[in-house]
Amino acid sequence: MHPQPDVQEEDGLPVLTLEDEGQELLSILEEAQYLILRHPIAAQGLFAAFVAEGRRYAHTAEGRRWTERLAGSDLIRKGRVVWEVTTMKVLEEDAPNVFPSAYAEAFAQVTRQHPLEPLLSRLFDPTGDDAT
């Protein structure tokens, strides 16, 4: 039922080969709907975090350029309809404490810690005591 990825392009990235394009695209959208309904809290958290990061990014020079690109595009104008139908408008903006990039940066910074174990062991400290 799921489209099978097939390596076809020059850069070697996997490419979805759709035999019955309409049906296969619907299957992917249904899969997205299923994921949102099955994991609503995670989906909401991810969505809100990316929206918050995007809002902050929009204040940078590069973010403004991207906003201009996106604002008048079919990707957004038509994409909003697809988005609302697919997500059933259940995803809302929220105020997350941490942006997705902050998670990625934190992950990378932790990998540079020496030694690593004392820091990680504090994740399991129920008291939250910082003392090592």
Partner 1 sequence: MRLEALETRTDEFDERNLVLQAVLGMLSAAARMDRLLDREAPAGATSQPGVVHAEDRLLVEFVLGLVSFRDTIGRIVTDAAMPPPHRDVPRRDHGATAGDDGDGLFRGVLR
Tokens of 81: 């309809």
- In the bound state with partner 1, the residue whose beta carbon lies nearer, of 109 and 132, is 109
What distance in Å separates the CA atoms of residue 56 and residue 82, rounded to the nearest whole number? Answer: 25
Q: What is the DSSP letter of 127?
A: T
Report 17-46 residues binding partner 1 (CB under 8 A): none
The Cα angle at residue 2 between residues 50 and 73, in degrees rounded to 5: 40
Q: Are 87 and 35 in contact (CB under 8 A)?
A: no
Stretch of 21-29, 35-43, 57-65, 117-125 lying at the interface with partner 1 (CB under 8 A): 57-65
- The reply on whether position 83 binds partner 1 by CB under 8 A is yes
- The reply on whether position 3 binds partner 1 by CB under 8 A is no
Residue ranges in contact with partner 1 by CB under 8 A = 11, 13-14, 47, 49-58, 60-77, 79-80, 83, 93, 99-102, 104-105, 108, 112
